[in-house]
Structure 1
Amino acid sequence: MLRILAQEYPAPRPVLKNLIIAVLSGLFIALFLIYFEPFNLHEDNVFQISFFGCITTIILVFFLYFSPLLLPNLFSDKNWKVGYQIILILLIILVIATFNSIYSIYRNSIPFSWDIYLLMLSRTCVLGIFPTAFITFLDYNHKLKSNLNLASNILKNKKEFLKDSRHVTHQISTDLKNETFSFIENDFNYAIADGNYTDICFLDENKLKKVTHRVTLLSFEIQLKEVSSLVRCHRSYMVNLNKVKNISGNAQGLKLELINYSEIIPVSRKYIPIVKEFFQKNS
């Protein structure tokens, strides 16, 4: 159990999917309470009961959409684990329970008491904690198995990984007026986004070196869109796929091991099809 909690897990991202999850979760809570009428809610009207679902939706939107948007370094795949995901879910449940308590006190015109708060917390936990923990473990195992199989299939069908890239020089325009830089395609290994800057990592006399330029990774990617082997693989990375010597997988996506580079380059879910297509075409 403890080992699973320390495994890497996809961090929440500010994407449409999380907004849909928030709305559907609130709708489920509202319909569940309206239909089954637990916790002596049969005396309340539909609107009053439905507001519990609205509370759920609003809080989920805050934690799953706006929090990753405002705190990208905290909600980063680089550090996110299964345990952190469960802690986030528990925090969400705690906040939902708190606002449910405040709403219940207001709705019933009664003074605040810890007994009422703890009662609402226990009720919210009954509805949320066990299903969410179960779904997190289930989702982790599904993603892990899927990405391990994908990495295995690519390795199985790939006769040879390392191929020399073209000895072509690419000229890149920076965000500074009239400033450009160039690099040889075969020397390029990967690039990392750093705000409005990009770290270009390349080989120089068989040593890996890094140079920082005033150009966003998006602009760098657009200027190299015609080069099939130099691709975006993550929101923070571009990579030369001809430099890949091994591929592995985890719940977050694929991991690329490059020649002359000890660390691992991540491939997020969004970019897996691009990487997969490249190796299929170049098998």
Structure 2
Amino acid sequence: MAKQSEIMNFLKQPFPHDTSLGCSIRISRDFGIFVFLFLLVFRPFNMNVLPEQVIWFNCAVFGLVTFVCIFLLDSLLPIFFPDYFKESNWTTGKQIFNVLVVLFCIGVANSLLFRVLFGAQFNWTNFWRAQFITCLVGLLPIAIFTLYRQNIWLRQFRKEAALLQEKLEDKKKVEITETASTPAPQLITFAGDNSNEKLSVEDNHLVYLESASNYVKVFFEKNGRLNYTIIRSTMKKVEEALQDHTMFFRCHRTYIINLDKIESVEGNAQGYKIKITGSEERLPVSRNLNKEFSDRLLAVRPEALS
């Protein structure tokens, strides 16, 4: 039972999942080149009896098919199944399943290539042979790449988050000892798209905002508890309403946070996770905003965290 629990915990670990076009191209290119070089060096399927030009051509075709399969699956699946491929829900288990799906699709394409390039009959024996060879060639480098990527990002973000948390605690201690008067709260008004829809909240009570399709959830403190109201609006509009209030920062495409309400910063393989006052949810920070988030949170020079 303990072993099963360890396996389940491993499969449920957060895993970095970048669905950007640039990342898809890089990963597809790298594995396409790997397949090309692997076949060119080891020359399986009795390719060494073929003319040199034919060998190069066959290796290039297999590499190109690998590139196309990975790129199409990596680019199209998140479009058709956006909720499933959300990085906030992405785990090691999902990553492993996704890799197996990709390998299966490459195997299907390779079984067709065997018929075209080597004249092999298209039957179940050759189909499963293509699947076996595809897994044999691709499974080990993909497993190494997957584990390396997870571990390197996990160590990086945990280290950075620990440093950031330490500096945040130091900043809070300094603020407690300061005798300067607290600025008077300012009223922020959000105008919804519906007629006469308005919400006014004092800036020191506004905790964070979350995008929800065509609506925005506004979380605020009231009577010592965290409450929220939903207004019909966009993040762009509410961001414009907050532009004169420096304590608010859009840390993610779906979240705007009050930097003064951050209790702690943690790190996992996906990046920074923020603990906000009154909420048990850990809010994400987009990886491309890590530097800006650190500087804004601590009000330090850019080089201070280096």
User: Would you call these one fold, judging by a TM-score over 0.5?
Assistant: yes
Greater mean deviation of Cα atoms: 22-31 or 258-267 = 22-31
Counterpart selection for 2:20 from 5, 8, 14: 14
Q: Give the match's secondary structure for 2:72.
A: helix
- Return closer, same or farther for 1:100/1:206 CA change in 2, 3 Å cut-off: same
Residue 75 (structure 1) aligns with: 85
Residue 25 (structure 1) aligns with: 31
Residue 3 (structure 2) aligns with: none
Counterpart selection for 1:157 from 164, 167, 185: 167
Q: Give the match's secondary structure for 1:78.
A: helix
Residue 125 (structure 1) aligns with: 135
- Return closer, same or farther for 1:109/1:273 CA change in 2, 3 Å cut-off: same
Q: Give the match's secondary structure for 2:25.
A: helix
Residues 41 and 49 of structure 1 are in contact (CA less than 8 Å); yes or no, is this contact kept in structure 2? no
Q: Amino acid of the residue matched to residue 32 of structure 1?
A: F
2:237 and 2:134 map into 1 onto residues whose CA distance is: 46
Counterpart selection for 2:282 from 253, 264, 269: 264
Q: Amino acid of the residue matched to residue 88 of structure 1?
A: N
- Give how far 1:200 is off: 1.0
TM-score, structure 1 as length reference: 0.89
1:16 and 1:247 map into 2 onto residues whose CA distance is: 28
Residues 56 and 96 of structure 1 are in contact (CA less than 8 Å); yes or no, is this contact kept in structure 2? yes
Q: Amino acid of the residue matched to residue 85 of structure 2?
A: F
Residues 120 and 126 of structure 2 are in contact (CA less than 8 Å); yes or no, is this contact kept in structure 1? no
Greater mean deviation of Cα atoms: 196-205 or 156-165 = 156-165
Determine which structure has more spread, i.e. the larger CA radius of gyration.
2
- Give how far 1:236 is off: 1.9
- Return closer, same or farther for 1:69/1:219 CA change in 2, 3 Å cut-off: farther
Where do 5+ consecutive residues of structure 1 fail to align? none
1:105 and 1:34 map into 2 onto residues whose CA distance is: 19
Q: Give the match's secondary structure for 1:186.
A: coil
Residues 147 and 250 of structure 1 are in contact (CA less than 8 Å); yes or no, is this contact kept in structure 2? yes
- Return closer, same or farther for 1:226/1:120 CA change in 2, 3 Å cut-off: farther
Q: How does 1:208-223 map to 2 (within 5 A)?
A: 208-223=226-241
Q: Does 1:228 align with 2:238?
A: no
Greater mean deviation of Cα atoms: 93-102 or 173-182 = 173-182
1:175 and 1:26 map into 2 onto residues whose CA distance is: 48
Greater mean deviation of Cα atoms: 131-140 or 29-38 = 29-38
Residue 55 (structure 1) aligns with: 65
Residues 166 and 186 of structure 1 are in contact (CA less than 8 Å); yes or no, is this contact kept in structure 2? no
- Give how far 1:242 is off: 0.6
Determine which structure has the larger helix proportion and give its number.
2
- Give how far 1:198 is off: 1.2
- Give how far 1:95 is off: 0.8
Q: How does 1:170-185 map to 2 (within 5 A)?
A: 170-175=188-193, 180-185=198-203
- Give how far 1:180 is off: 4.9
- Give how far 1:23 is off: 2.5
Q: Does 1:106 align with 2:112?
A: no
2:253 and 2:221 map into 1 onto residues whose CA distance is: 23
TM-score, structure 2 as length reference: 0.83
Deviations 1:184-231 (CA, angstroms, capped at 9, x unpaired): 211111111111211111112322211112222233234434433211
Where do 5+ consecutive residues of structure 2 fail to align? 1-5, 176-181
Q: Amino acid of the residue matched to residue 75 of structure 2?
A: Y
Greater mean deviation of Cα atoms: 103-112 or 175-184 = 175-184
1:5 and 1:24 map into 2 onto residues whose CA distance is: 25
1:210 and 1:49 map into 2 onto residues whose CA distance is: 58
Q: Amino acid of the residue matched to residue 26 of structure 2?
A: I
Q: Give the match's secondary structure for 2:160.
A: helix
Residue 167 (structure 1) aligns with: 185
Residue 88 (structure 1) aligns with: 98
Residues 188 and 241 of structure 2 are in contact (CA less than 8 Å); yes or no, is this contact kept in structure 1? no
Deviations 1:55-98 (CA, angstroms, capped at 9, x unpaired): 11111112222222332211112321112112211211111011
1:177 and 1:20 map into 2 onto residues whose CA distance is: 47
Q: How many residues align?
A: 283
2:148 and 2:84 map into 1 onto residues whose CA distance is: 24
2:217 and 2:155 map into 1 onto residues whose CA distance is: 33
1:11 and 1:238 map into 2 onto residues whose CA distance is: 21
Counterpart selection for 2:10 from 4, 29, 39: 4
Q: Give the match's secondary structure for 2:263.
A: strand
